[in-house]
Structure 1
Amino acid sequence: MDLATVLLLHKSSFIVGAICFFYVRWRSKEPGLDFLAIGYGLLGVASTLAGAGEQGTLPYEVWTFGSFSIGVTGYSLMAMGLLRLSSRQRKPSGWLLLAIALSLSAIVGGMHWHADNQARAAIFNANTAAFLGFSCFVVLRDFFPERLPARLGLLASLAAAMVFSTLVVIKIIAPQYGPIEARYAFFMLIICHFSIALFVIVLVQERAEAQLKHLANTDALTGIPNRQHFLASIPNQLRTGDAFIMIDIDHFKGVNDRYGHEAGDVVLVGVAQAIAAVAGRGCMIGRLGGEEFALFLRDQTEATAFAMAEQIRRAVNALGFASGKETITPSVSAGVALWRGDCSAQKLRDWADQALYLAKRGGRDRVELHANLPSTEKRSFSVIPAADIQHPASGQHPRVEQRAA
C-alpha cells in the first residue's frame, strides 16, 4: 500500500471518529466526548497537513511543525476525553495533559527537531504511546467500579495502538531491532483508531442501558431495590439458613396526616437508608410498597436473624426528623422467619409477614420471630426487657418531641 493511500485512510479514521463523537455527545451528554471529538478532529487536521507536505504543496517548516504540534495536542485532548468519559467526572487535572503537549511542542519547535524527519517521528510516536498508555491505565482503573464489557474492548484497542506506536519508535531508533515495518505498524494504528471510536460509542450505549436497568429496578424515592427487583432476586431454591425479615414503619399514616406527605417522604428515605446501612451488602433489601420493607439473608440462625432485625429497630429509633418545632422519631415493627424444611420463598415470606403481624399486635416497636415448629408455635424474643420498652401512648403516631422555638 502506497503512502498516499495510508495517509488518506489515516485522515479518514480521525474524521469519521470526530463526527461520531460529536453526534453521540449531542445525544448522550456524556462528559469527555467533546474532547474526544476535538482531539480526533485535530489529528485529522495534522494528518491532512502531513499529506499536503509530502506532496510539496506547503513549506517544509510549516507542515512539519504544524502536523507535529497539532497532532500532539490532538492526542492530549483524546487522553483528556477518555479520562473524563471513563471516570464520568470533569477533572481539572486533565488540563495537565494539554499543558504537557503544548510544552513539548514548544520544545520541539524551539530546538528545530521538527525539521528532522526521524527525530520528529520518534518524538511524536513516543508521545502518542505515552498518552495511549495513560488512557489504558484510566480505563482499566475505572473498570472495577463500572464493569461494562465495552471497557475491555476499549482497553484492548488502546493497548494495541500503544504497542504499534512503540514499535514505530523502535523501528526509527534501531531499524535492525524493529519487528515490523513502520508503514505496516502505521496501517495497524489506523485500524486501532477506528476500533477506539467504536468501543467508545458502545461504552456510552452500555452505560445508558445499565442506567435504564438501574432505574427500572430501583425505588425512585428511597434509592433501594423496588418490589419487582427484590422478589425476582430471591433464589428459587432455598436452603437451611435462609431468612426473611419484614419491616413496617409504625403509624406511618399518622405522619402523613399530621405533618404532610413531604415530611412522610423524608421519614421514608431516612428509614430506608438506616435499614440499608445496617443490612450492608451481605443481604438483599427492597421496598415492597408504602412503608413496608423486606430483607432476605443467607447463612443465618434464629439468633443472628433476630439480632439483625433488632439492630435495625434500634437504628430507626435513633433517627430524628425536624418538622417545624417538633421532631419526628419513627419506630418500626419487624417479623423474622427462617427456612426449615421444604417450603417456598412465598411461604417463607408469609411466615415473616405473620411474625410482623404479631409484632404489631403486641404493641409495635418490637421484633417477633416466627418459629416454624410442627405445632406452628410462634415465639417472641426480646433483646431488652418488655417492661423497658416504651410504646407511643396514643397508639396512633410516632413519638414526637417538642423543640424550643
Structure 2
Amino acid sequence: MDLATVLLLHKSSFIVGALCFFYMRWRSREPGLDLLAVGDCLLAFASTLAGLGEQGSLPREIWTFGSFSVGVTGYALMAVGIIRLSGRRRKLSDWLLVTAALALSVLVGVTHLYLDNQMRAAIFNANSSVFLALSSAAILVGFLRDRLPGRIGLAASLMAAMTFSALVVLGVVFPEYGPIAPRNAFFMLIICHFSVALFVVVLVQERAEAKLSRLANTDALTGIPNRQNFLASLPHQLKHGDGFIMIDIDHFKSVNDRHGHEVGDAVLVGVAQTIAAAAGGKLLLGRLGGEEFALFLRDQTEETLFAAADDVRRKIKALAFVVDAGTVRPTASAGVALWSDECDATRLRDRADQALYRAKRGGRDRVEMYAALAAAPLPSVAAVVAF
C-alpha cells in the first residue's frame, strides 16, 4: 500500500471518529465526548498537513512542525476525553496533559527536532503511546465501578493502539529490532483508531441502557428497588430459613396531611435509607408502594427473623425530621413470616402482610410473627418485646 493511501486512511479514521463523537455528544451529553471529537479533528488536520507536505504543497518547516504540534495536542485532548468519559466527571487537573503536549511542542520547535523525520516520528509516536496508555488505564479503572462490557473492548483497542505506536518508535529508532515494519504498524494503528471510535459508541450506548434499566427497576423517590424489581428478584424455589418482613410507616397519611408532601417524601426517603442500611447489600429489599416496604432474608430462624425486623423498627423510631411545626418522629410496624413446606413466595408474602396487619391493629410500632396469629387474643407490647 502506497503512502498516499495510508495517509488517506489515517485521516479518514479520525474524521469518522470525530463524526461519531460529535453525534454521540449531541445525543447523550456524556462528558469527554466533545474533547474526543475535537481531538480527532486536530489529528485529522495534522494528517492532512502531513499529506500535503509529502506532496510538496507546503513548505517543509510548516507542515513538519504543524503536523507534529497539532497531532500531539490532538492525542492529549483524546486522552482527557477518555479519562472524563471513564470517570464521568470533569477535573481541572486533566488539562495538565494538554499542557504537557504544548510544552513538548515548544521544546521540539525550539530545538528544530521536527525537521528530522526519524526523530519527529519517534517522539510523536512515543507521545501517542503515553497518552494511549493513560487512556486505557482510566478505562480499566472505571471497569471496577460499572463493569460494562464495552470497557473491555475500548481498553483493548487503546492498548493495541499503544502497542503499535510503540512498535513504530522501535522500528524507526532500531529498525533491525522491530518485529514489523513501521509502515505495517502504522496501518494497524489506523484500524485501532476505527476500533476506538466503535467501542466509545458501544460504551455510551451501554450506559444509556443501564440508566434505563435503573429507572425501570428503582423507585424514583427513595432510590431503592421498586415493587417490580423486588418481586422479580425473589428466588423461584424457597427453602427452610427463608423469611419475609413487611414494614409499614405508622400514621403516614397524617404526616402528609399535617406537614405536606415534601415532609412526607423526606420521611419516606429517610426510612428507605434506614432499611437499606440495615439490609447492608446482602438482603433483598424494595418499596412495594406508598409507605410499605419489604425485606427477604435467607438462613433465618424465628428468633433471628424477628430480631432483624425489630432492629429495623428501632432504627426507624430513632429518626427525627425537623420541620417548621416541630419534629416528626416516625414509627413503623412490621410483620414477619418464616417459610414452611406448604407455601410459595406469594403466600409467604401474604402471611407477612397478615402479620403486619395484626401489628397495626395491636397498637403499631411493634413486630408480629405470623406463627403467633393462631392465638386469639392480641399479645401485649411487653410480651412482644420480651419475645
TM surpasses 0.5: yes
1:363 is matched with 363
CA shift, 1:35, in A, is 0.2
Q: 1:200 to 1:102 in 2, by over 3 A?
A: same
Structure 1 residue ranges, 4+ long, deviating more than 4 angstroms after superposition: 375-382, 384-389
**Post-superposition CA distance 1:338-366 (Å, at most 9, x none):** 11224210011011112112211221101
Match in the other structure for 2:20:
20
Query: Secondary structure at 1:296's aligned position in 2?
Result: strand
**C-alpha distance in structure 2 between counterparts of 1:380 and 1:122, whole Å:** 85
Aligned to 2:231: 231
User: Structure 1 unaligned runs (5+)?
Assistant: 390-405
Change (3 A) 1:185 1:379: farther
Count of residues in correspondence between the two structures: 386
What is the aligned partner in structure 1 of residue 252 from structure 2? 252
Shift of 1:387: 9.9
SS at match of 1:225: coil
Residue 218 of structure 1: aligned partner = 218
Matching of residues 5-404 of structure 1 within 5 Å: 5-371=5-371, 385=382
CA distance in 1, matches of 2:378, 2:167: 73
C-alpha change, 1:86 and 1:387, in structure 2 (3 Å) is closer
> What is the aligned-residue identity percentage?
67
CA distance in 1, matches of 2:200, 2:364: 54
Mapped contact 2:359–2:366 kept (Cα < 8 A):
yes
| Structure 1 contact 371–379 (Cα < 8 Å) conserved | no
1:246–1:335 Cα contact (<8 Å) kept: yes
TM-score of the pair, normalised by structure 2: 0.96
Distance 1:58 1:223 in 2: 60
* CA shift digits 1:304-346 (9 cap, x unpaired): 2222211111111111112213101000000111112242100
Contact kept? 1:244, 1:337, Cα under 8 Å: yes
Partner Cα distance (1:148, 1:325) in 2: 47
Residues 69 and 380 of structure 1: CA distance in aligned 2, closer, same or farther (over 3 Å): farther
Structure 2, unpaired ranges of 5+: none
Q: Is the 8 A contact 2:367 2:384 kept in 1?
A: no
> Contact 1:367/1:381 (CA < 8 Å) preserved in 2?
no
How far 1:16 moved relative to its partner?
Answer: 1.2
The structural deviation recorded for 1:388 is 8.5
Q: Structure 1 pair 23/388, CA: closer, same or farther in 2 (3 Å)?
A: closer
Structure 1's 377 and 152: CA in aligned 2 closer, same or farther, altered over 3 A? Answer: farther
> Residues of 1 paired with 2:21 and 2:61: CA distance?
32
Deviation at 1:378, TM superposition (A): 9.6
What is the letter of the counterpart of residue 317 of structure 1? K
Contact 2:313 2:365 in 1 (8 A): yes
